[in-house]
Amino acid sequence: MTSLAALGLAVIVALSTPPVQAQVSFLTTQTFAAGDFPFSITVGDLDGDGDLDLTTANSSSSYPYPSSVSVLKNNGNATFAALQYFAVGDYPSSITVGDLDKDGDLDLAAANYFSDNVTVLQNSTPTLQLSPSPNRSNLTPLEGQSGSGNIYVFASGKDTDFKRVKFFLDDPDKSGEPIRLEQAAPFDFAGGTNMDPT
């Protein structure tokens, strides 16, 4: 099991030792450089080599990489290559991964707190903007799927005096945003095979 935390300007990784009498212990922590003010972290095999890579959402507005996400590729031994920066919207507050375009690799989605939109970084393709999303957005993990196998994107956040959730589907006519919700999570309310937002 791997425990991940983003603190200050670094990502800290702690690897567990084999369990002994139900006790939990960890090896010496390792620290890896991340972007300025990392606000959120997620893991996923972005390069398809079988190990998990790290991605952070960096909320700093300072030069040279303001409002970016950082990707740290796993070397295969719990060490990570030098980070790569990708531009997103203003003040990204959360980041998540999922195969949004169904091409077999993982894409990134970042909720941008101040620019009120969601940035989707399609793996090996240009950036796509989904806008508008709620003010001060956060993203739920990309677990909700339509019957066609397409992933839903849920962005929750504060909008003026109300709290909303915005969801983006493969059918734009079915997107929407009910009020009075601050956090979103997928759940199968209907008892079928599809995940519903809650």
Residue 195's domain spans which residues? Answer: 132-198
Domain count, the chain: 2
Give just the sign of the alpha carbon dihedral 12, 18, 19, 25: negative
Q: Are 129 and 120 in contact (CB under 8 A)?
A: yes
| Same domain assignment for residues 161 and 115 | no
156 falls within a domain? yes
Chain segment 137-153, per-residue pLDDT in tens: 455 455 444 445 555 55
Last residue of a domain, one of 119, 144, 163: 119
Q: 109 lies in a domain?
A: yes
Contact 133, 155 (CB under 8 A): yes
Q: Is 124 contained in some domain?
A: no
Query: Is position 126 within any domain?
Result: no
Both 107 and 15 in a single domain? Answer: yes
- How many percent of the chain have pLDDT more than 90? 11
Please report, as a single letter, which amino acid is at residue 104.
G
Taking alpha carbons only, the member of 121, 114, 167 closest to residue 143 is 167
Per-residue model confidence (pLDDT) at position 193:
52
Looking at the structure, do residues 13 and 96 belong to the same domain, yes or no? yes
89 and 138, same structural domain?
Answer: no
pTM of the model: 0.61
pLDDT, tens digit (0-9, with 9 covering 90-100), for 158-181:
554 434 445 555 454 544 444 334
Q: Look at residue 144 and tell me if it is in a domain.
A: yes
Q: Position 188: which residue type?
A: D
Beta 153-159 vs 162-168: how paired, if at all? Answer: antiparallel
Phi, psi (rounded to 5 degrees) for 173: -70, -15
Q: Please give the residue that has the higher pLDDT: either 11 or 18.
A: 11
Cα distances (Å, whole numbers) of residue 176 to 29, 120, 151, 153 = 43, 18, 15, 11
Q: Which helix (H) or strand (E) holds 87?
A: strand 84-87
Please give the pLDDT value at position 161: 43
Residues 31 and 112 placed together within one structural domain of the fold = yes
Pair 17, 80: CB distance under 8 Å: no
Tell whether 62 and 136 lie within a shared domain. Answer: no
- Domain final position from 98, 119, 140: 119
Chain mean pLDDT for the chain: 69
